[in-house]
């Protein structure tokens, strides 16, 4: 049993497999020399939901930077703060969370081979292969089936005490292209993750858009880290090709409306492990659709309509975003 990629989805798949079938040999192929603390160990906003079916994957100890109890959303003149004393999410130390999962996978008997880049799927001889290589999927690109909807992200991690609020995430939707975010990161350094996500045909440079946003919100300070790249918007079909199952960004992507992807990666890895270990791998696509299709339809409609609305009038986008934001809040996504 081969798993390509030693990040969240790949490690959860390994754990899920070994929990259900201890005799199964599970090898995780990680191209970097270390899991977690590598150039891809930090991705996007590092926010993690902990409600409903993904509550089982609560990070522990050093894997947590901040407990989130407030979410501020701004769509044009619509401004809303959602608050709960119990908390509804975390800002992760994503690198440490990956290491936490790695230790658990090895405790269950999975083999993690770091510095092991898979050059071709033909080099793997497992009965089943799980592609957890991210976006773009290395295996899907190799066999020519990487056709899911994509967007782009750009983010800076900034040391700035003036804009650091430990328990609050902030999201600002823009009718021209997508949304901005301000998330608290490392409290010792008073870091904030400031970024934006876009989809559709964008005529602007993402860095310029982010700099304008920072100036508007009076965010300044030392830029410690910059990242960005493709983000898979919604389900990235197919979920299975021959004996290959696609998890995480390679399979289920991120929710188009909010960009949330971590819980989707974890849940897809869990489902893949269940299906393979219990002897019904071909049910994996059905299980994925069952878990995500409710929001997939709405997310894709949102993305397609807003791509068209912005060409007519960005205010139409803001109107639809406002209604969608209220709906998401009511249904507790």
Q: What was the pLDDT predicted at 316?
A: 53
Pairwise pLDDT comparison (271 vs 325), residue with the higher score: 271
**Among 55-64, 156-165, 208-217, whose mean pLDDT is lowest?**
55-64
Q: What was the pLDDT predicted at 289?
A: 93
Beta strands in 35-167 (DSSP E): 47-49, 64-68, 70-75, 78-83, 89-92, 111-114, 129-131, 150-159
Q: What was the pLDDT predicted at 59?
A: 87
Distance CA 176, CA 206 (A): 12
Sign of CA dihedral 142, 144, 149, 150: positive
The per-residue pLDDT for range 74-127, each reduced to its tens digit, is 887 778 888 876 567 889 999 999 999 999 999 999 999 999 999 999 999 999
Tell whether the model's pLDDT for residue 4 goes beyond 70: yes
Segments forming the whole domain that contains residue 147: 2-331
Distance CA 166, CA 182 (A): 11
Residues of the chain with pLDDT > 70, as a percent, come to: 85
Q: Pick from 21, 17, 6, 8: which is nearest to 284 by CA?
A: 17
Distance CA 3, CA 110 (A): 10
Distance CA 68, CA 90 (A): 5
Residues near 321 by Cβ (< 8 Å), separated by ≥ 6? 75, 76, 173, 175, 306
Beta strands in 31-177 (DSSP E): 47-49, 64-68, 70-75, 78-83, 89-92, 111-114, 129-131, 150-159, 168-174
The per-residue pLDDT for range 184-227, each reduced to its tens digit, is 999 999 999 999 988 776 677 999 999 999 999 999 999 999 99
Residue 78: which CATH number?
3.50.50.60
Q: What was the pLDDT predicted at 330?
A: 42
Q: Which two tokens stand for residue 311?
A: 């060409």
Give mean pLDDT, residues 283-300. Answer: 85
The per-residue pLDDT for range 22-41, each reduced to its tens digit, is 999 999 999 999 999 998 88
Q: What was the pLDDT predicted at 15?
A: 97
Band of the pLDDT at 58, cuts 50, 70, 90? confident
The per-residue pLDDT for range 249-282, each reduced to its tens digit, is 999 998 876 778 898 999 999 999 999 999 999 9
Give mean pLDDT, residues 139-164. Answer: 92
- Tally DSSP H helices, then E strands, for the chain: 7, 16
Distance CA 207, CA 115 (A): 32
Residues of the chain with pLDDT > 90, as a percent, come to: 62
Domain count, the chain: 1
Q: Pick from 15, 38, 71: which is nearest to 267 by CA?
A: 15
Beta strands in 1-149 (DSSP E): 2-4, 27-30, 47-49, 64-68, 70-75, 78-83, 89-92, 111-114, 129-131
Q: What was the pLDDT predicted at 52?
A: 57
**Cβ neighbours of 54 (radius 10 Å):** 17
What does the mean pLDDT of the chain come to? 87
Q: Which two tokens stand for residue 267?
A: 């849940």
Stated as kind and residue range, the H or E segment containing 273 is: helix 262-277
Classify residue 142 as exposed, middle or buried by CB count within 10 Å of its CB (0-12, 13-18, 19+).
middle
Tell whether the model's pLDDT for residue 17 goes beyond 90: yes
Give mean pLDDT, residues 243-247. Answer: 98
């Amino acid at each position: 049993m081969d798993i390509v990629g030693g990040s969240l989805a790949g490690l959860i798949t390994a754990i899920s497999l070994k929990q259900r079938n201890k005799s199964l040999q599970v090898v995780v192929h990680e191209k970097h020399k270390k899991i977690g603390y590598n150039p891809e160990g930090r991705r996007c906003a590092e926010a993690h939901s902990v409600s409903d079916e993904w509550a089982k994957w609560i990070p522990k100890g050093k894997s947590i930077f901040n407990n989130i109890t407030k979410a501020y959303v701004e769509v044009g003149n619509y401004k809303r703060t959602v608050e709960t004393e119990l908390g509804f999410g975390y800002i992760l130390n994503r690198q440490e969370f990956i290491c936490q999962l790695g230790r658990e996978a090895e405790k269950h008997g999975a083999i993690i081979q770091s510095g092991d880049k898979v050059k071709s799927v033909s080099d793997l001889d497992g009965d089943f292969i799980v592609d957890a290589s991210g976006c773009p999927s290395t295996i899907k690109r190799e066999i020519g089936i990487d056709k899911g909807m994509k967007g782009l992200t750009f983010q800076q991690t900034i040391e700035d005490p003036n804009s650091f609020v430990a328990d609050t995430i902030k999201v600002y939707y823009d009718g021209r292209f997508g949304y901005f975010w301000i998330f608290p990161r490392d409290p010792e350094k008073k870091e904030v993750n400031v970024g934006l996500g876009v989809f559709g045909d964008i005529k602007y440079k993402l860095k310029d858009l982010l700099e304008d946003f920072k100036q508007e919100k009076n965010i300044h300070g030392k830029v410690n880290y910059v990242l960005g790249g493709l983000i898979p918007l919604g389900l990235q079909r197919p979920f299975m090709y021959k004996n290959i199952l696609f998890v995480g960004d390679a399979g289920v992507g991120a929710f188009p409306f909010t960009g949330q992807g971590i819980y989707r990666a974890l849940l897809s890895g869990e489902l893949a492990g269940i299906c393979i270990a219990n002897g019904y791998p071909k049910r994996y696509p059905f299980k994925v659709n069952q878990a995500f299709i409710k929001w997939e339809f709405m997310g894709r409609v949102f993305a397609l309509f807003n791509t068209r609305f912005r060409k007519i009038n960005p205010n139409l986008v803001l109107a639809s975003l406002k209604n969608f934001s209220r709906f998401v809040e009511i249904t507790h996504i």
